[in-house]
Chains A and B, each alone.
Chain A
């Protein structure tokens, strides 16, 4: 331990020294270039003997076409003698003459071509020529929907903002960019609609992003975990979505979106628990169907969390509760099994988790075999070998199935996790234990906040207006107000005399 501590100390000290250097502007351009040249993908040359300009860039992040078509011909042209002349000549709008070496370094590292005149040590022309390597916009994979748009976010931040802006072509859509991570310098964009989103929420997000002290941010889920209100909570605090349509929709509700460069998932918040159980497809279906599906999903959550633990509790303590007709089949299926119900349940639950984990880690082609192994080999053989009972096998399989109905993946994971404390308390104290565990989780949820706003919102604190889009999704004409939970300064979504106005045909 001591060794690591001393090492960490030295690392910190080195970092501090570097910071001091930075702040005192001791770095000069030639020193910077010298350091960059250690990397083999760094290119630095002069076009010809007569040319006064030196060109520097990282060839791996610069678009060679831009360089060859729009920069080099003008550098070669002897008409321009100064950087200013060159800047005027080059037909690229994103050019700057910068005299701060640190800024030059940052630009250089993010895909700009730096041109300097030999001798002037504090000034350089910086031309943006970033090569945008990105995959095409494809189908959403996690949040797939049968009807509705088929676009999903990609890894590139600019492409993602483009997808959102296409859906919200208004000047009020504000994008604020923050750089996060001392090593990765990840671009993180905060999107909100001015006048609709609460300024306080925006400031909260920006402040939390600025406060991040972590060296690398690879994906939006990093941000989700780092800025969450309560680190001890297993519940996700922000909704993670890959659908631009969903982002546009929550933005117009007054919520805030965080898009991270390099991540095909955007974060939206402040959010509530029930929102995690609403698939975005709900809004594409008629409201009756969507409401029923939402209720089915909520039922699935309760079933998934409680079913196995209730089985254990009832079979271990409360045989009085079993209906008479169920007694015989239950005893018949249990009587050959050498384990108590809790061991039987844990074995099966772990098996299901193993199958899921293996299925997720393996490549798709091998993944299919997992289904066969799980379904036929383990399912049938375990019962025939007398290790588990038929009844529990059905319950566990149904519970696993039910946990997959949750549309947000992170929430599905949480639901599968909180099954286990329920199982243990069910074994220790029977139904009392299940109730105890439920109360514990409920009190945790009551206390929880998302970006400082209540997590259990439309239910507690009770917001009657917000209930219209919580457990049910009522028709659009009834959703005249933005959710109260986001504290929008402009709560009315549209002025409507609403459903009282009859629908008109063209003849009228």
Chain B
């Protein structure tokens, strides 16, 4: 009996040895780290894969290598790329996917679908919309020592933490498939030898409908999620500039329904340090209050303007609909009808905590 068990345990796995996954040895594959999609015409699109070749040696710098192909499907494009690659192309380490603005305006459903179906692609994948052609962004040199793909990923990743709301494939899909919210993506553009995050692209379903500026993206971030870092600059009534170092911000969305009419309130709480007021006496309580008032006004005005714009587009990237759905008397049909005319109030409450280390 004992021998029997041993045989089972040892030889059955050996028989299964034919079922093993194929080996992909790290240096024998072409790792794609960024991927870009460009608009060609309504049927076809152009795909660009950015990868790097790393020559042997400890101090060797990676060499940028770009593959481009045009086709009707992602699979076809990949096949064409494989034709010119020395090693098998794998997509398991893609960190950034760039959609050209023109393509995004025509809809990115096709590309998103193939991304979310690929099991080797992680859910933390970053998606961005670019003003230029995605190919131009991937196939160029930047003033940095790392590989191009790594540089692009680092720029976007860093901005997601500091200045624009955090978004990745997973969150995009949540918004995309939700009936009560619309997705948004960061907007990037190339400026000389640098890549720059320049705002947010607002989507309605899978189509890009609007872009908002970098400054507004920060307001968007305050309304969208709570966070701890960042800076805010306002001009006081006297003409002085004051910057507020954000310590923490928190937003509460509340949706009310009275007589079948919806009403939404954003309660924004920001507390920050007042810094860099050149001609101001920051130790004075009155000055601090003045700053608080000014920032409150600034946030309220800009946020209201932004929300109004979203209502005009009938897009809901701030997922107010998701919040409204939590009500037991939620009626999706009524909500859709009312969304663009609904009253949305912004209530900002700013608290300037400190004025620096010297008092």
Contact = CB atoms under 8 A, between A and B. Distances in A.
Interface of A: 315-317, 319-320, 322, 324, 327-337, 340-341, 386, 390, 428-430, 436, 440
A336 B56 contact: yes
B192 interface: no
A324 B96 CA distance: 12
Interface in B11-51: 13, 17, 20-21, 23-27, 29, 31, 33
Contacts of B60: 332
B20 A341 contact: no
Interface residues of B, number: 30
A440 B120 CA distance: 28
Nearest to B23: A316
Interface in B104-151: 120, 122, 147, 150
Nearest to B22: A317
A330 B58 contact: no
Given A319-B93, A327-B31, A332-B56, A341 B25 contact: yes
Of the candidates B29, B31, B52, B54, the one having the most CB atoms from chain A within 10 angstroms of its own CB is B54
Contacts of B90: 319
Interface of B: 9, 13, 17, 20-21, 23-27, 29, 31, 33, 52, 54-58, 60, 62, 90, 92-93, 95, 120, 122, 147, 150, 153
Given A332-B56, A332-B57, A430-B21, A319 B31 contact: yes
Contacts of A390: 58
Contacts of B54: 328, 331-332, 335
B9 A440 contact: yes
Of the candidates A316, A319, A428, A440, the one having the most CB atoms from chain B within 10 angstroms of its own CB is A319
Nearest to B29: A319
A435 to B, nearest CB: 12
Nearest to A330: B26
Contacts of A428: 17, 20
B262 to A, nearest CB: 44
Contacts of A328: 52, 54, 62, 147, 150
A303 to B, nearest CB: 21
B153 A331 contact: no
Nearest to A319: B26
Given A330-B26, A332-B60, A436 B13 contact: yes
Contact of B93 (A324, A334, A430): A324
A340 B25 CA distance: 7
A320 B120 contact: yes
A56 to B, nearest CB: 53
Contacts of A430: 20-21
Given A328-B54, A341-B26, 19 more contacts: A316-B24, A317-B24, A319-B24, A319-B31, A319-B92, A320-B92, A320-B120, A324-B95, A328-B147, A329-B58, A331-B26, A332-B56, A332-B57, A335-B27, A340-B23, A428-B17, A428-B20, A430-B20, A440-B9
A193 B122 CA distance: 62
Nearest to B28: A340
Nearest to A427: B23
Contacts of B24: 316-317, 319
B23 A317 contact: yes
Contacts of B55: 332, 335
B120 A331 contact: no
A324 B60 CA distance: 17
